[in-house]
Structure 1
Amino acid sequence: MIAWLDGAIPYLKALHIASLVIWCAGLFALPLMLARHDPAIAQADYSRVRLACHYGYTWVVTPAAMVAIAAGILLIFMREVFVPWMFAKLVFVALLVGFHAWLGSTIVAVAETEGEHQTPAPLLPLLLLLVLVLAILVLVLAKPELDKIPLPHWLMEPRGRQLPFDAPPRL
């Protein structure tokens, strides 16, 4: 690997961790903010909560998620971490992205739907989020040997086939 790239890895890890902290903190905070979304409160307070959810999701949580994912992808390729625990971690990261998308759709539904809004109680989403974050942390910190997990034979060997197209698509 190029020497200057090796020197960039600690900075990239710091960027990855910092953006993950912001992303996950926002994912924990937004369901709690949505729980405060009660049309019975004063209109000014209701608008303030709705705008805080929208701007927090749009300008803080989503950019932090993009930076965390981009930095994480770069780290995978720079460190050449192609091991089973990393692929398991990526499954949980994909579920975290799904949670992020669900939260965004909930914020949009509350903001743009007329009439009474029934926001989800924050307990279940927060428990689900806690499980996802803890699973990712355990996989990253423990780096368990997952080689012993029985996987289908076809998944463990290259198939020796060509891709279904001649050349990769050009953008």
Structure 2
Amino acid sequence: MIAWLKAIHITALIVWCGGLLVLPGLFARRSRLNRRDAAELHRYIRTLFIALVSPAGFLAVVAGTALLFLREVFTTWMMLKLLAVGLLVIIHMRAGYVLLSVFEPEGDYAPWRRWVMTCVTIAVIGVILVLILDKPAIEHADVPAWLRTPGALQSSFETIRPMP
């Protein structure tokens, strides 16, 4: 059971991360295309994002969560890995937003953005790989207090007052 779940998790991660790495390059192609070709590229990217990348991300997170509970891996390095996976989710959501905005009539995706997002995605994937393959022994005291204290992040936001 666990072996199958791991296989599903790893396969879904490969597809999800591969999709997140490919999307910025596809977004950058938008500025070089005429209206008809841009509409075709938009359909292609939407299909890729909705039919492949998003389900793979969902499956990776669900299978990973199930493995977390089945293997009872409640360690500091695993919690940091979950934080990094949260960053992948943010990258995924940003890609969805860019997909909606870049194909507007005046939409554009600067080439530098492609390289920045690709490098950020590679860095997050790299952090996840290091945490998983090395499983570093991180002491509880090495983690900042706001990550160790339940509700610390919420109390930080409570001090922020909305602008009138």
Asked if Structure 1 and Structure 2 have the same fold, meaning a TM-score greater than 0.5 normalized by the shorter chain, the answer is yes
Seq. identity, %: 32
If you compute each CA radius of gyration, which structure gives the higher value, 1 or 2?
1
1:83-127, Cα deviation, whole Å (9 max, x unpaired): 00000001100011000000100001123x33x222142100000
Match of 1:57 in 2: 49
1:151 to partner: Cα distance:
4.2
Structure ranking higher in helix proportion: 2
Give SS of 1:118's match. Answer: coil
CA RMSD of aligned residues (A): 2.0
Aligned-partner SS, 1:36: helix
Deviation track 1:126-164 (CA, whole Å, cap 9, x = no partner) reads 00001000000000000000116154399379xxxxxxx
Distance 1:98 1:133 in 2: 13
TM-score, normalising length: structure 2 = 0.83
SS where residue 124 of structure 1 aligns? Answer: helix
Aligned residues: 147
In structure 2, what is the Cα distance between the partners aligned to 1:79 and 1:50?
41
Corresponding residue for residue 10 of structure 1: 3
Is it true that 1:46 corresponds to 2:38 in the alignment? yes
- The residue aligned with 1:163 is none
TM-score by length of 1: 0.80
Matches within 5 A, 1:108-123: 108-111=100-103, 113-114=104-105, 116-121=106-111, 122-123=114-115
2:108 maps to amino acid: Q
Give the Å deviation of 1:45.
Answer: 2.1
1:66 deviates by 0.3
Gaps of 5+ in 2: 151-164
More deviation, 129-138/146-155: 146-155
- Structure 1: tracts of 5 or more residues without a match: 1-7, 158-171
Q: In the alignment, is residue 32 of structure 1 matched against residue 42 of structure 2?
A: no
